[in-house]
Amino acid sequence: MSFNKQTIMIVEDEPSLIFTLRDTLEIEGYRTIVAEDAGKALEILKTRTPDLMILDVMLPGKSGFELCKELREMKLTFPILMLTAKDQEADKVTGLNLGADDYITKPFGVKELLARIKAILRRTENQYGRHISRLHLGDAILDLDNAVVRRNESENVLTTREVELLRYLAARANKPVSRKALLQEVWRYEHSTTTRTVDVHISKLRFKMEPKPEEPRYLVTLHGVGYMLKITP
């Protein structure tokens, strides 16, 4: 299902390496976005959030280190895998200190790269909610893997967007989530998306999962803030 594809952003200026990375990752089932320098990466990040970034240290203009530091200062938390040169051992430490999750030394083999990426995504997926396959809310079971809500004898099918929305909220259960964050992370600012779109989806979800949709117990509105998925043990 293309919906579940994870997106990897490649920040690298060397055409042959871009080609190899893109090819390797796409064959493996990832979606890719390429930025040839830090400026382009920042521009893309205004509208899209990758699941992981492969970031080369040596870039024209702003270096990979500078970009890494900046992204963390901007509170962008997606994992970053730095590409470092073999003769610069100190780079590894610098990168990790600046907020990178891991590094790989050039030249590297495709297998090693994929193994690293998978390991990082496994480590970090909790914060993105992908591991959440099922939620029990009162007498409702939200089966996210099978995109269905079951209550008593009834079943309501969830759309892929609703599943994504629920996973996002569930990963931040009992914490307020702004409409803006939902637009950015769940809708990725696709055109024609407005805060109204978010509200409509929330309302539809309530009809599927709330005992009394007009008085939501779980998917609550926080006025002036956004929404929160309340999960009480």
Nearest approach in angstroms of CB 73 to Ca ion is 22
* C-beta closer to Ca ion: residue 51 or 56: 56
Contact partners, residue 8, CB within 8 Å, separation at least 6: 25, 30, 31, 32, 33, 50, 51, 52, 53, 54, 117
| Residues forming beta bridges with residue 137, ordered by sequence position | 140
In terms of CB distance, is 54 or 177 closer to Ca ion? 54
Q: Which is nearer to Ca ion, 69 or 208 (CB)?
A: 69
Distance in Å, CB of 156 to Ca ion, minimum: 50
As measured in angstroms, the least distance from the Cβ of 14 to Ca ion is 5
Q: Is the CB of 55 or the CB of 170 nearer to Ca ion?
A: 55
Q: Which positions ≥6 away from 121 have C-beta within 8 Å?
A: 6, 51, 52, 79
Angle between helices 160-170 and 195-209 (to 10 degrees): 90
Q: List residues near Ca ion by CB under 5 A.
A: 13-14, 56, 58
Within 8 A by CB and 6+ apart from 40, the residues are none
What is the smallest separation between the CB atom of 48 and Ca ion, expressed in angstroms? 22
